[in-house]
Amino acid sequence: MPTDAPSPPLIRARGLTKRFGSFTAVDAIDFDVAPGEAFGFLGPNGAGKTSTMRMIGCTSPASGGTLTVLDMDPATRGPEIRGHLGVVPQQDTLDEELTVRENLVIYGRYFGLSRAECGRRADELLEFAQLTERRDSRVEPLSGGMKRRLTIARALINEPDVMLLDEPTTGLDPQARHLLWDRLYRLKQRGVTLVLTTHYMDEAEQLCDRLVIMDKARIVAEGSPRQLIEQYSTREVAELRFPVGVQETLDGQLAGLADRIEHLPDRLLLYANDGEAVAVAVHDRGLRPETVLVRRSTLEDVFLRLTGRTLVE
């Protein structure tokens, strides 16, 4: 959903800043999240994603700028705002002294739901998270993926309008990730607004309608995954890997082959609309890379372009 959609933004930040002592973790960022969209914060470790999410979640006061969530000010109406949010923190905060089902039931109680309602929703969510068999198990022995699913289920107990998901799939195996993506996609279809952080570009591409790229406490770019790739990268990339020591000796030999060339420690990235043609041209110049890989541009390339660094080191 574009920013200029008729409905007012669900979350609006202007000059939003977070400082820890003299250190600035979030430096005057602006963004809007529209109702029903999936909005992402993509960025490397320490970019300020979690700090931003915690301010939105009303568990961390902003140090500057303005923030409204559901048209309310977190500083004065935190409890009311939190009543409409479902929060999946970066690190699981499940109650280890309780069972799987109790975790859901008591969480519903915190939101002021009746006992009967909590029980009903807990059983539904156990199904949704595929944890019904483990309902009476303690939390501690669950696998990482199960804990993550339980955390997401728990965040849904109050039927939130907005889900805040801080790296929902970090540390999960591919199968568990795909299951979670599927669950999140279904939520989105039900009209739940998703706000998520990730440092996986494929996750951002899969899930986000729109995203901002954060680096060193600032937003460096904003748009849909496709827009960002079009704006900051070429359609394709040829990745060349040369034998050890050779890459450094190639100065000038690649000139004019591609729109742009990135030198990574272990490989060269040649950006062009036709990657195959580049690969052929490289060969024609008598260069013999060990491997050549032609692929489509991703958000990773956008990030590299914007910051000069790779996203996942």
Ligand X SMILES: Nc1ncnc2c1ncn2[C@@H]1O[C@H](COP(=O)(O)OP(=O)(O)OP(=O)(O)O)[C@@H](O)[C@H]1O
Taking CB under 6 A as the binding criterion, the range among 42-50, 66-74, 121-129, 303-311 that sits at the site for ligand X is 42-50
Q: Which of residues 24-63 bind another protein (CB under 8 A)?
A: 35, 57, 59-61
Q: Is 11 in the site for ligand X (CB under 6 A)?
A: no
**CB of 46 or CB of 144, closer to ligand X:** 46
Looking at residue 69, its amino acid is V
Within a 10 A sphere around the Cβ of 79, how many other Cβ atoms? 8
Taking CB under 6 A as the binding criterion, the range among 41-49, 143-151, 258-266, 284-292 that sits at the site for ligand X is 41-49
**CB of 58 or CB of 258, closer to another protein:** 58
Contacts of 239 (CB under 8 A, 6+ apart): 267, 268, 269, 270, 291, 292, 293, 294, 295
Helix (H) or strand (E) holding 106: helix 100-110
Tell me the per-residue interface mask from 95 to 134 with ligand X, x by CB under 6 A, - otherwise: ----------------------------------------
C-alpha–C-alpha distance, residues 136 and 155, integer Å = 19
Question: Exactly one of 43, 74, 86, 168 binds ligand X (CB under 6 A); which one?
Answer: 43
59 interacts with, out of ligand X, Mg ion, another protein, none, CB within 5 to 8 A per kind: another protein
User: Min. distance of Cβ 299 from ligand X in angstroms?
Assistant: 15
User: Min. distance of Cβ 84 from another protein in angstroms?
Assistant: 6
112 interacts with, out of Mg ion, another protein, ligand X, none, CB within 5 to 8 A per kind: another protein
Which sign, positive or negative, has the C-alpha torsion 201, 206, 212, 217? negative
Instruction: Work out the widest C-alpha separation in the chain, in whole angstroms.
Output: 74
Question: Exactly one of 42, 49, 156, 305 binds ligand X (CB under 6 A); which one?
Answer: 49
Q: Alpha carbon 138 to chain centroid distance? A: 29
Q: CA dist 293 to 52, 202, 241, 271, Å?
A: 37, 18, 9, 12
Q: Is 171 in the site for another protein (CB under 8 A)?
A: no
Q: Which of residues 175-194 bind another protein (CB under 8 A)?
A: 191, 193
Which tokens is 37 given?
């969209």
What are the strands of the beta sheet with 64-69, ordered from one edge?
23-33, 11-20, 64-69
Listed residue (93, 88, 132, 125) closest to 108, CA to CA: 125
Q: Which of residues 59-98 bind Mg ion (CB under 5 A)?
A: 90
Question: Exactly one of 16, 29, 42, 47 binds ligand X (CB under 6 A); which one?
Answer: 47
Residues near ligand X (CB under 6 A): 20, 23, 25, 43, 45-51, 90, 199
